[in-house]
Amino acid sequence: MPEPSPSRARRGRRRGAGLTLTDVARLAGVSPITVSRALNTPEQLTAETLARVREAVARTGYVPNRVAGGLASSRSRLVAVLVPTIASPVFLETVQAMTEAFSEAGYQVMLGQSGYGTEREEALLDAIIGRRPDGIIVTGIMHSPEVRRRLGAAGIPVVETWDLTPTPIDMVVGFSHEKVGLSVAEYLLTRGCRKPGIISADDLRAGLRREGFTAGVARAGVNEVPAALVPTPTTLGAGRRSLAALLERHPDLDAVFCSSDMMALGALTEAAVRGIDVPGRLRVVGFGDNNFAADASPALTTVRIDGTAIGRKAAAFVIDRAEGRPIEHHVVDLGFQIVPRASA
């Protein structure tokens, strides 16, 4: 060993705040490890030592380097949240709730947009796994076997959300899309609808709701369900145009189940423009209970999903795992609720 300390000066590396735990320790007159404890397990120190360290931290404006901490402890305190796209308002509430819950617990959220294709998902996955997050939360259940394998192999807690499966990779918190479809079918049939149609996004989960809906109305002998499929993301315009198209082919349509509130609002708009009475001649049901649903005219009947609860539960799962607490039930069904309003 040629010389003990001038390494810092010699090396041309980019210096961050340039302040390390050792600097703070020197200033406080304690060892580095004591500073580490002051930050992580303050209850282990005497009040006096703690105060000394705290003062040194305040004086210097030291902010601990969590990258180094993460490497040393194998706990990055980073959680990856994967959504198809952030632009769709559906998951927003969930992402918000998760971000808050994690933030409070000292974790940071890494956002990943997987798109709606599995290949992009796989590429993203390596970028994510490379960061060694303490957990990964994905939207929807993962189907690609390759993705499932990689996720399993990485040994990182995984929470699948917004859907349900008896065989999650690890944990799942959501609700049954099929049951949503069934319930809405029942709701409309009870109100006398005999010619219901559907306006649906072409993604997997919307498809499940569609299937449930179709199965539900079939029980009452309605075997043909006119459907309009629109590419994600769903928009008000798509809702308008889809309703127009459906009415063209089926003028006797007496209900539509839309796979998003925004499309339902479009259906409402189109109906208003055409002078079609809602719910008198046409009933409209949305999905999501977005914050505009209750104030639409007529107020929108829709399916309420507690996105906040999903986000919080998913976050709790990850945090429990990270802290080493055992998980009781790996599958959590948070259900849904049909909110009856004026439109249906």
Partner DNA sequence: AACGTCGATGGTAGCGCTACCATGACGGGC
Partner DNA sequence: GCCCGTCATGGTAGCGCTACCATCGACGTT
Please give the C-alpha separations between residue 74 and each of 156, 235, 333, in angstroms, as whole numbers. Answer: 11, 43, 32
Query: Taking CB within 5 to 8 Å according to partner kind, which of its own copies, DNA, none is near residue 329?
Result: none
Q: What are the backbone dihedrals phi and psi of residue 9, each rounded to the nearest 5 degrees, phi first? A: -70, -40
* Contact call for residue 65 and DNA (CB under 7 A): yes
Q: Judged by CB under 8 A, which of 22, 31, 33, 68 binds its own copies?
A: 68
Q: Under the criterion CB under 8 A, does residue 282 sit at the interface with its own copies?
A: no
User: How many of the other CB atoms lie within 10 Å of CB of 75?
Assistant: 16
Query: What span, in angstroms and rounded, lies between the C-alpha atoms of 343 and 282?
Result: 8
84 sits near its own copies (criterion: CB under 8 A): no
| Piece in contact with its own copies (CB under 8 A), picked from 45-53, 129-137, 213-221, 336-344 | 129-137
Distance CA 98, CA 105 (A): 11
- Using rule CB under 7 A, residue 61 touches DNA: no
Joined together, the tokens standing for residue 100 give: 């808050």
Q: Which two tokens stand for residue 294?
A: 């209750």
User: C-beta of 32: minimal distance to DNA in Å?
Assistant: 5
Query: What distance in Å separates the CA atoms of residue 327 and residue 314, rounded to the nearest whole number?
Result: 12
Site string for DNA, 17-56 (x = CB under 7 A): -x-xxx-------xxxxx-xx-xx---xxx-xxx------
Nearer of residues 13 and 329 to its own copies, judged by Cβ = 13
The nearest distance, CB 128 to DNA, in angstroms, is: 15
Give the interface segment with DNA, choosing from 11-19, 91-99, 101-109, 136-144 (CB under 7 A). Answer: 11-19
| Residue nearer to its own copies on the CB measure, 32 or 64 | 64
| CA distances from residue 281 to 177, 198, 217, 270 in whole angstroms, order as listed | 27, 16, 19, 13
Q: Is 11 in the site for DNA (CB under 7 A)?
A: yes
Query: Crossing angle for the helix pair 21-28 and 32-40, nearest 10 degrees?
Result: 100
Backbone angles phi, psi at 197, to 5 degrees: -120, 180
Binding-site size for its own copies (CB under 8 A) equals 68
The reply on whether position 326 binds its own copies by CB under 8 A is no
Give the list of residues 6+ apart from residue 313 with CB closer than 8 angstroms, or none.
173, 332, 334
Residues that bind its own copies (CB under 8 A): 13-18, 61, 63-68, 70-71, 73-76, 78, 81, 85-87, 89, 92-93, 95-96, 99-100, 103, 106, 108-113, 124, 126-132, 150, 153-155, 233, 235-237, 240, 262, 265-266, 269, 272-273, 291-292, 294-297
